[in-house]
Amino acid sequence: MSDLVTLTDIERAAERLEGVTVRTPLVPYPPAGRELFVKPESLQPIGAFKLRGAYTAVTALSEDDRAHGVITHSSGNHAQALAYAARAVHVPAVVVMPRTAPAVKVESCRALGAEIVFVEPTMEARRAMADRLAAAHGYALIPPFDHPQVIAGQGTVGLEIVADAPEVDVVLAPVGGGGLLSGVATAVKSLRPETAVFGVQPELSAHARESLRLGRPVEWPAAETSRTIADALRVQGLGRLPFAHLSEYADGIITVTEEEIRKTMRLLLLSARLVAEPAGAVATAAYLFHRARLPAARTYVAVLSGGNVDPALLAETVG
C-alpha cells in the first residue's frame, strides 16, 4: 500500500527524537540466560514508549497547525506523551480520557499541564469528544495509533532493537490499537526480513488476532475489552493504518491470560528488576508461557511497553 510508513520515515523520526527520548537498552532476562532480552520502554520520561510517536507527530506539525494547541484521546500513556511533547514545544494540550483511566496516569497528565476531559470508556465516546473539541477550538488532533507520524515514531523501537541485536530472530511487542507493533514490524522487517515479529494481547481483548485471521478489521465491544487488567490494551479495534501495516508485516498474534500477565509482572520485577504495567508485561508473558507457539530461536526480544502501574496493583501483584 502506498500509504504505509517506510523505513525512511522511521529514520527521520529517530532524528527528531535525538536527545528527547531514551535509547532504551536490551536487558537480559536472567532466568533465560542470553536467549531473551527485554527492551524497557518504562525508562522513557513519561514511563512508556508513547513519547516516541507523540513527539514525532507534534514536531511534524507546522507552526500554524499547532498554534491553537493539540488534542488526543487516550486511556493514559499516549495522553501523557502528548502532554509532555506539547509542553516541550510550548503549546497547550487537551487529553480526552476514559473515566476509568488509572489515577497514576491521570495525575501525570495534570502534572504535565494538560487539560483533561473525561468520557465514558468506549472508543466511540473518546473519538467523538476529541473530534468535537478539535473542530470547535482549532486544536490539531493527534490520535494514539492511527497516524503515520505516530507509527513512524514508534518504529524507532524497532530500529534500536536491530541495531543492538543484529541477529535477533523473534521480536514480541504488545498490540492494542496497533501503532507500536506497526512501527516495530516495519522497521525490523525492512532491516532484517528473516526476523519474525509477533504482536501480543490479552485473551480478553484479542481483536487484532481476530482481525488478521479474518482479513478485515474487527471491533470488540468495550464491555468485553474492559475486562482485562491491561488498561493500555483495552482498545476495541485496530486503526486503519495499523491494520494495513500488520497485514503486510506481522507474523501473527499471541494471546496471554490475565494470570499470565500478573505472574509476568512479578517475575520481571523480581528477576530483572524491571517495573511493568500490565500491558507492558504481555510480550514477555508470551515468551514465558507460550514459547511453543513461537519459532525456535537463539535470540528473542520482548518490548516492555510501559511501567505506569498503579502502586496498589503493583503491591498486590508482587505480594
Q: What integer pLDDT is reported at residue 2 of this predicted model?
A: 59
pLDDT of 1 above 70: no
> Long-range contacts made by residues 164-169, C-beta under 8 angstroms, separation at least 24?
164/25, 164/26, 165/26, 165/37, 165/299, 165/301, 166/192, 167/298, 167/299, 168/192, 168/195, 168/299, 168/300, 168/301, 169/195, 169/196, 169/295, 169/297, 169/298, 169/299, 169/300
pLDDT in tens, 120-150: 998 899 999 999 999 999 999 999 999 999 9
- Structural class in CATH, domain 51-141: alpha beta
- Those residues with Cβ within 8 angstroms of residue 315's Cβ, 6 or more apart along the chain or in another chain: none
Residue with cell 492511527: 146
The 10s digit of each residue's pLDDT in 178-203 is 999 999 999 999 999 999 999 999 99
Q: Of the residues 39, 42, 50, 205, which is catalytic?
A: 50
Sign of CA dihedral 100, 53, 285, 309: negative
pTM: 0.94
Return the axis-axis angle of helices 207-214 and 240-249, rounded to nearest 10°: 60
What does the alpha-carbon distance between residue 189 and residue 68 come to, in Å, rounded to a whole number? 38
* 105 belongs to the catalytic site: no
**Which of 108, 182, 190, 305 is the catalytic position?**
305
Tell me the per-residue pLDDT of 98-113, one tens digit each, with 9 for 90 and over.
Answer: 999 888 899 999 999 9
According to CATH, the topology of domain 7-48+147-318 is Rossmann fold (3.40.50)
pLDDT tens, residue by residue, 254-289: 999 999 999 999 999 999 999 999 999 999 999 999
Is there a contact between 14 and 156 (Cβ–Cβ < 8 Å)?
Answer: yes
Q: Who contacts 103 (Cβ-Cβ below 8 Å, separation ≥6)? A: 310
Confidence of residue 61 (pLDDT cuts 50, 70, 90): very high
Residue 165: strand, helix, or coil: coil
Cβ atoms 269, 276 nearer than 8 A: yes
The DSSP secondary structure of 52-70, one letter per residue, reads HHHHHHHHHS-HHHHTT-E
Eight-state DSSP code of residue 14? H
Phi, psi (degrees; rounded to nearest 5) at 171: -115, 135
Cross-sheet strand order for the sheet of 93-98:
115-119, 93-98, 70-73, 140-141
Helix or strand run (H / E) with residue 36: strand 36-40
Where are the domains positioned within the chain? 7-48+147-318, 51-141
